[in-house]
Structure 1
Amino acid sequence: MLATSPSASQDIPVGVFDSGVGGLSVLAHIRQALPQQSLIYAADSLHAPYGSKSQAFIVDRSIQLSDFLISRGAKALVVACNTATAAAIGELRRRYAIPIVGMEPAVKPAAAATRSGVVGVLATSGTLLSAQFAALLESYGRQVRVETQACIGLVECIERGELQGAATRKLLQKYIAPLLEAGADTLVLGCTHYPFLRPLIEDIAGPDVVIIDTGAAVARQLKHRLQDANLLADGLAGRPGVTAFWSNADAGSAQSVISLLWGKSVEVLRLPD
């Protein structure tokens, strides 16, 4: 395991990757929790979404992205993708002797939050069919009814930066309506892309429905893992960490969409295909 002093570790980045731009929702929580930590984000948008891909393909892409981030000096990895976590995090942890943090749909907190006893999960088909998700249901879904909805096409909307259009709203209405009709009063955002649609989701679901995602919890877990490994970048008070963005999408699209989702104009470098 890597070990260094806190001050020396500030400029050693944490690597974060996703099938596309969705993991920026997690990156924002990490930036808030670790303001002095340098970060590298890799968006594998050329191959998004992962939800319809085979496990072998997702494992291969996850290894390639991890190798890239480690080649750029990453001291820890965040797999900011539920589907990639379910398919590949075991293999990544076998390969790399650095802290690796993944995602999981927030079934546990949703089960605690529901008043009606019905939880709705919005996710990709890859996540919903995974052994990891089945294990979550076995552990935390016994006392509540969990209704699931595979949201085909939503990731593509977000990859295009279509966060508020009529087509995106229509898709969301199609996916949310059956969950509400089933009595769900709590919705889990089981894909890191979906928090970017939260305003639309809240508008469609109404004020009485609780929306839960796991970005903040992942940021806290990363902070704990870095502390445990003596890798936390907290030695230079007042000096913000640098955030670098990489994508293998078309350059113009990557620049505009990542800047839109990040909330300010940023430079996006070309990620190898």
Structure 2
Amino acid sequence: MERDRPIGVFDSGVGGLSILRALRAELPGEDFVYFSDAGHAPYGEKGEDFVSDRSLAIAVDLLEAHRIKALVVACNTATAAAVHLLRAQHTHLPVVGVEPALKPAAALTKTGRVGVLATRGTLSSAKFQTLRASLAGQAEFVLVPCDGLAAAIEADDRAQVEALCRAYTRFDGDVDTVVLGCTHYPFATEVFVDLLGPEIELVETGEPVARQTGRLLETQDLLRPEGGGHVQWRTTGDEQALRSAAARWLGL
């Protein structure tokens, strides 16, 4: 049955595991295929055409090899570059993207100043600029391109992660809310809390993405209410590194 097919989830590396974690919690009856394109990472420092081409190729691969019933683009940079192309090319396929949680952050802030930590590719994209413009007047967004941070998290280089997080969280003024605008960054939450203090609100996108995926599946009668729970792993990089990350962050 079509509802028994897996959901495809892809990212440039292991950052999308933060989205997979939320998906598995929200949709325990579902199976998943996680595709890490680590052999072509990091997306955030590559051109938009390159990211679009990789995203389209991965979608085709997941459809042909695994007959996925839905696709979650668990990468802010890939969403910005390619989610509209994926939806146009695969009109039958529910496609869910991620984007930095500016709207929830604008609703949370008391001071009106929100820090946005993201890759350079995400912050420079037309999709992000449109999102930011739609919230004009609701908050001031302090944009911080975090070069190298996703790669450091990917490599599990604690010292480098701490150094980069420290460099990228030196906000001027009264920022009271910080958007983690890359799916890798929730895995450095502990470091951010240590640096910023517990009074700073950290906002990520995993749970909203999981809820939206569930809504789309329910609308198309594709929800699998029970069974499931299995994850298949695909990568263009080091398979053991992916499995180690899944064990470290998801307990899988």
TM-score of Structure 1 vs Structure 2, range by shorter chain: over 0.9
| Letter aligned with residue 231 of structure 2 | T
Paired residue type of 1:244: Q
Asked if the contact 1:11–1:241 (Cα under 8 Å) also holds between the matched residues in 2, the reply is no
Corresponding residue of 1:134: 129
Q: 1:251 aligns with which of 230, 233, 239?
A: 239
For 1:104, what is the secondary structure of its paired residue?
coil
1:171 correspondence with 2:164: yes
State the Cα distance separating 1:243 from its structure 2 match. 1.0
Q: By percentage of residues, which structure has more helix?
A: 2
Kindly indicate whether residue 32 of structure 2 is the aligned counterpart of residue 44 of structure 1: no
Equivalent residue, structure 2, for 1:108: 103
Deviation for aligned residue 1:127: 0.4
TM-score, length of structure 2 as denominator length = 0.96
Task: Look up the match of 1:62.
Answer: 55
Q: Structure 1: which 5+ residue stretches go unaligned?
A: 1-7, 265-273
Instruction: Compute the displacement of 1:9 (Å).
Output: 4.1
Q: Which amino acid aligns with 2:184?
A: H
Aligned residue in 2 for 1:143: 138
1:134-213 correspondence to structure 2 within 5 Å: 134-162=129-157, 165-177=158-170, 179=171, 181-213=172-204
Specify the SS of the correspondent of 2:43: coil
Q: Which amino acid aligns with 2:203?
A: I
Q: CA deviation at 1:11?
A: 2.8
The SS at the match of 1:51 is helix
Match of 2:117 in 1: 122
Q: Distance in 1 between matches of 2:137 and 2:40?
A: 35
2:2 and 2:187 map into 1 onto residues whose CA distance is 31
Aligned length: 250
Q: Contact 2:3–2:221 (CA<8 Å) still a contact in 1?
A: no
2:81 corresponds in structure 1 to 87
Alignment of 1:16-55 (within 5 A): 16-55=9-48
TM-score, reference length from structure 1:
0.88
**Root-mean-square deviation over aligned CA pairs:** 1.2
Q: Is the 8 A contact 2:3 2:69 kept in 1?
A: no
Question: Secondary structure of the equivalent of 1:42?
Answer: strand
- 1:69 Cα deviation after fit: 1.0
Unaligned runs of 5+ in 2: none
Q: How far apart, in 1, do the equivalents of 2:144 and 2:136 lie? A: 15
1:79/1:103 contact within 8 Å kept: yes
Q: Please give the alpha-carbon distance, in whole angstroms, between the structure 2 residues aligned to 1:137 and 1:261.
A: 31
User: What's the secondary structure of 2:169's corresponding residue?
Assistant: helix
Percent of residue pairs identical: 44
Cα distance in 2, alignment partners of residues 240 and 229 from structure 1: 18
Contact 2:113/2:141 (<8 A) preserved:
yes
